[in-house]
Amino acid sequence: MPKHFCCVPDCNSASAKKNNLQKYPWMKGVKLFPFPLRKAAVLRKQWIDLVRRHDFTPKKYTRICSRHFLKGQTPRDDPKAKPTLFPYNNWGKKCSPLYIFSLIISVNACRPTKINLLLVHAYLILGHFNFQFLIRLFLKS
C-alpha cells in the first residue's frame, strides 16, 4: 500500500503515522481521502482552490485528510462534500474575543496606526480573520 500524506500546507497527517498512535495520538481515526475524479471537474477545482497551494495539481496518490472536513460531512458521507477546515482559517474555529483583543493590542503596540486597527477590524467583520494573517501583519510592523 502506498504511503499517503495530506496535501494541505501545515497539516502533517500521513497514513504511516496511524501505525504509531502513541507518538501521533491526533492521527487516531483520521482518514485520507483522494481528490474528486477528473470527471467531477467542478468539485475537483473547488477542492484545489480550497487547499490554497501554489501551482498545485493533485496526482493519483494525492490525499486530503479527514481533519479538513466537518464531522459527518466527509466524502464518505456525502460525495459532494468539500473540505472547509484549514490552518489558514484556524481550522474553522472562531477565536475567543479575549484572544482577538490581545492580538489587536500586540499588533498595535508594535505599530499603533489607524490602518492596522482598521485592517484587523475589517478582517474580523468579514469573517476572514485567521491567525496567519495577523502573524504576517505583526511581523511586517
Using CB atoms within 10 A of its CB, is residue 6 exposed (0-12), middle (13-18) or buried (19+)?
buried
120 part of the interface to Zn ion, by CB under 5 A: no
32 part of the interface to Zn ion, by CB under 5 A: no
Helix (H) or strand (E) holding 34: strand 32-34
134 part of the interface to Zn ion, by CB under 5 A: no
How many residues touch Zn ion (CB under 5 A)?
Answer: 6
Identity of the residue numbered 25: P
User: Could you say which residues in the range 46-75 bind Zn ion, by CB under 5 A?
Assistant: 65, 67
Q: Near Zn ion by CB under 5 A, which window of 3-11, 90-98, 104-112, 118-126?
A: 3-11
The β-bridge partners of 32 are 65
Whose Cβ is closer to Zn ion: residue 4's or residue 67's?
Answer: 67
Q: How many CB atoms lie within 10 A of CB 45?
A: 11
85 part of the interface to Zn ion, by CB under 5 A: no
Q: How far is the CB of 78 from Zn ion (least distance, A)?
A: 18
15 part of the interface to Zn ion, by CB under 5 A: no
**Dihedral, CA of residue 111, residue 116, residue 117 and residue 121, to nearest 10:** -150
List of residues contacting Zn ion (CB under 5 A): 6, 8, 11, 13, 65, 67
